[in-house]
């Protein structure tokens, strides 16, 4: 390995780590959705890994197309910028819809009282607490919601760009070194996904220990609001 390639490899690892760590959109949606949907740790890891892979593959495919067709880095960066805006709006829309649904569900599940009279006297009546919980929902609709959420996240992350990756791919490609290009893409992808998993798993384990009590029913709404805020932070704050 040449000194130039070694420096590029170390740069790819460093950028993959910090790019992921400083981008809350890389892990907050999974942390909050895992809590809201009550995913197991194994399922959380699987979904995070799948979305992380899609996140990397999308940019790699674009970079390879650019290399084959001889498209300039500036043109590819413009395409990545457009993909970033598209992914941000997807996050905002999905988070907003999920927030409204979660809030409606939380309010519907609020415990309230019903009085039942069984006779003329007060002794012949009783009061019981009642909540319009999700047991009233049709089972197939409930299963559909569980199954579609991970794929919505995967679609969003596939469109979400890894802006630093394409310039790093173009350099070894310009040197006609395909093995070097594969190495750089692989290192960047491994570090990115490993960082995502590290933050998601550690934070999820901590969040699961929090005693939420009555606030538990609002986790769906909070998850949706968090995803929406991640999209807003990308679109308007440039995170």
Q: Give mean pLDDT, residues 10-37.
A: 91
> What pLDDT, on a 0 to 100 scale, did the predictor assign at position 172?
72
| Token representation of residue 218 | 């609002």
Q: 200 with 34: CB under 8 angstroms? A: yes
Q: Which one has a higher pLDDT value, 160 or 117?
A: 160
Mean pLDDT of the chain: 81
pLDDT bucket at 141, cuts 50 / 70 / 90: very low
pLDDT bucket at 140, cuts 50 / 70 / 90: very low
> What pLDDT, on a 0 to 100 scale, did the predictor assign at position 23?
87
pLDDT tens digit sequence for 159-216:
887 777 877 777 676 676 788 888 888 999 999 999 999 999 999 998 888 777 777 7
Q: CA-CA distance, 41 to 159, in Å (whole number)?
A: 25
> What pLDDT, on a 0 to 100 scale, did the predictor assign at position 41?
93
pTM of the model: 0.79
Q: CA-CA distance, 191 to 188, in Å (whole number)?
A: 5
Identify the top-confidence range among 3-12, 129-138, 224-233: 224-233
Domain range summary for the chain, segments of one domain joined by +: 24-110+145-237
> What pLDDT, on a 0 to 100 scale, did the predictor assign at position 60?
85
Q: CA-CA distance, 44 to 203, in Å (whole number)?
A: 12
pLDDT bucket at 134, cuts 50 / 70 / 90: very low
pLDDT over threshold 80, residue 31: yes
Q: Give mean pLDDT, residues 61-85.
A: 82
């Amino acid at each position: 390995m040449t000194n130039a390639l070694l420096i590029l490899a170390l740069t790819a690892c460093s950028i993959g780590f910090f790019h992921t760590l400083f981008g809350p959109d890389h892990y907050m949606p999974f942390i909050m959705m895992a809590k809201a949907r009550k995913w197991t740790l194994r399922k959380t890891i699987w979904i995070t890994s799948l979305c992380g892979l899609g996140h990397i593959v999308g940019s790699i495919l674009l970079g390879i197309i650019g290399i084959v067709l001889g498209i300039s880095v500036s043109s590819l960066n413009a395409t990545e910028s457009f993909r970033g805006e598209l992914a941000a709006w997807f996050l905002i829309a999905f988070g907003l819809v999920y927030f409204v649904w979660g809030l409606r569900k939380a309010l519907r599940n609020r415990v309230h009282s019903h009085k039942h009279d069984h006779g003329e006297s007060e002794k012949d009546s009783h009061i019981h607490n009642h909540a319009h919980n999700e047991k009233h929902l049709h089972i197939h609709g409930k299963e559909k919601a569980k199954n579609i959420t991970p794929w919505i996240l995967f679609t969003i992350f596939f469109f979400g760009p890894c802006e630093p990756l394409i310039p790093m791919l173009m350099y070894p490609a310009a040197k006609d070194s395909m093995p070097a290009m594969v190495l750089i893409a692989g290192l960047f992808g491994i570090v990115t996904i490993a960082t995502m998993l590290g933050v998601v798993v550690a934070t999820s384990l901590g969040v699961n220990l929090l005693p939420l009590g009555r606030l538990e029913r609002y986790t769906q709404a909070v998850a949706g609001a968090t995803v929406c805020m991640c999209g807003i932070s990308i679109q308007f704050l440039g995170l």
